[in-house]
């Protein structure tokens, strides 16, 4: 079984990235042939600073390796280091119905949040399909809100296969049922696009300030808070603290006598402790960037072997070999 997942280097990785994608992906290393890539081509739809993209790419590599990705058990690489994916994207574009892209909720959601539209943003599901199909991925782990991405890939692959003959493996999505949507500082889904994130490796003082600034309601410490389970700070605390700690704070809020300030202080302390081992590992890696570059280079070489074979098969199928 080949598993594939990717993440954009469009900004500092945050708790939503970690609990929604990174940790589940790292856990999958034990279950199959895992391919993980840094989606720098995809970042070009929203990030236009070349130096920042280079730095973000290295930061994503550091973050992933620090959090436990094993480059021996997994193939870890830059998307752009295997440019065959762009050619495959064009082959797929020629059979992708416009209506399929127009129905994609991610594009409509970004427009609704004021993000300026461009063709890359509109057509990126095709590049995403190429990302998946070029590595003959069987399984793509996603959150429930991202299931449509894999459905589009399946539709495009089936359309190509119907047009030119059996060429691509049809992937299956694996819904991460146990992973809740991680709330951002404003209560929406945590996303770099919305500017509501708490970084995995944020600077201590700045992160403490961000957590302490979480907006709560106006109830006093003495007042019971019956909707504690919907509280942003409680939801985040349950991710980084032992289960009994999150439950205890939730019950204390409901009973009354606990202030939001104490809750937010506890959230910061558990967040800081949770990522302490990864912070130490990241510092070691950052002091040896040659090793990180070697990991990405070796990963791209392994990925390219598969990608070239798939692209050759697709070119032959549509008659441009």
Distance between CA atoms of residues 156 and 146, nearest Å? 16
Closest among 205, 218, 140 to 173, alpha carbons compared: 140
* Interatomic CA distance for residues 225 and 159, integer angstroms: 53
Name the percent of the chain lying above pLDDT 90.
Answer: 74
Question: Which range is least confidently modeled, 199-213, 216-230, 298-312?
Answer: 216-230
Domain shared by 124 and 146, yes or no: yes
CATH of the domain at 223: 1.10.240.10
Judge whether 225 counts as a catalytic residue. no
215 and 172, same structural domain? no
What is residue 157's three-state secondary structure? Answer: helix
Q: Is 147 a catalytic residue?
A: no
CATH of the domain at 159: 3.40.50.620
Which residue range is the domain that position 102 belongs to?
A: 2-182+288-318
Model pTM greater than 0.75? Answer: yes
- The Cα-based distances of 203 to 26, 51, 154, 199, 245 in angstroms read 24, 21, 41, 9, 24
Contact 56, 10 (CB under 8 A): yes
- The answer to whether residues 211 and 177 belong to one domain is no
Q: Which helix (H) or strand (E) holds 249?
A: helix 243-255
Q: Which position has the token pair 């989606």?
A: 39
Please indicate, yes or no, whether residues 265 and 135 belong to a single structural domain of this protein. Answer: no
Looking at the fold, whether 43 and 116 belong to one and the same domain comes out as yes
Cα distance between residue 171 and residue 2, in whole Å: 10
Q: How much is the average pLDDT of 112-116? A: 72
Q: How many domains would you assign to the chain?
A: 2
**Choice among 108, 147, 159, 189 that is catalytic:** 189
Q: Say if residue 147 is exposed, middle or buried (CB neighbours under 10 Å; 0-12, 13-18, 19+).
A: middle
In a domain, 24, yes or no: yes
- Could you give the CA distance from residue 274 to residue 200 in angstroms, rounded to a whole number? 10
Q: Let me know if 238 is a catalytic residue.
A: no
Same structural domain, 237 and 306: no
Secondary structure, 3-state, 86-148: HHHHHHHHCCCCHHHHHCCHHHHHHHHCCCCCCHHHHHHHHHHHHHHHCCCCCEEEECHHHHH
Indicate if 233 and 301 belong to the same structural domain.
no
Catalytic residue among 192, 225, 238, 264: 192
- Categorize the per-residue pLDDT at 180 as very low, low, confident or very high, splitting at 50, 70 and 90: low
Q: Flag whether 197 is in a domain.
A: no
């Amino acid at each position: 079984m080949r598993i594939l997942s990717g993440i954009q280097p469009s900004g500092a990785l945050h708790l939503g990235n970690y609990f929604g994608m990174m940790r589940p992906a790292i856990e999958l290393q034990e279950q199959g042939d895992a391919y993980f890539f840094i989606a720098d081509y995809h970042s070009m739809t929203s990030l236009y600073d070349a130096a920042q993209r280079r730095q973000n790419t290295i930061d994503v590599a550091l973050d992933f390796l620090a959090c436990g990705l094993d480059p021996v058990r997994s193939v870890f690489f830059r998307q752009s280091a295997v440019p065959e994916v762009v050619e495959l994207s064009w082959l797929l574009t020629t059979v992708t119905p416009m209506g399929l892209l127009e129905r994609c909720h991610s594009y409509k959601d970004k427009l609704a949040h004021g993000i300026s539209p461009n063709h890359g943003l509109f057509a990126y599901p095709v590049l995403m399909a190429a990302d998946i199909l070029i590595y003959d991925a069987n399984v793509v782990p996603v959150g429930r809100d991202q299931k449509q991405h894999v459905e589009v890939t399946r539709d495009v692959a089936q359309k190509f296969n119907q047009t030119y003959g059996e060429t691509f493996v049809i992937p299956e999505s694996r819904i991460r049922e146990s992973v809740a949507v991680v709330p951002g500082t404003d209560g929406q889904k945590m996303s770099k696009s919305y500017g509501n994130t708490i970084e995995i490796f944020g600077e201590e003082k700045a992160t403490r300030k961000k957590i302490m600034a979480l907006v709560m309601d106006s109830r006093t410490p003495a007042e019971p808070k019956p909707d504690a389970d919907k509280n942003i700070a409680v939801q985040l605390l349950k991710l980084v603290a032992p289960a009994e700690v999150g439950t205890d704070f939730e019950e204390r809020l409901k009973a009354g006598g606990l202030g939001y300030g104490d809750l937010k202080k506890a959230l910061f302390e558990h967040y800081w402790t949770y990522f302490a081992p990864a912070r130490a590992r990241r510092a070691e890696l950052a002091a040896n960037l040659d090793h990180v570059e070697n990991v990405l280079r070796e990963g791209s070489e392994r990925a390219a072997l598969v990608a070239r074979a798939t692209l050759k098969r697709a070119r032959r199928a549509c008659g441009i070999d």
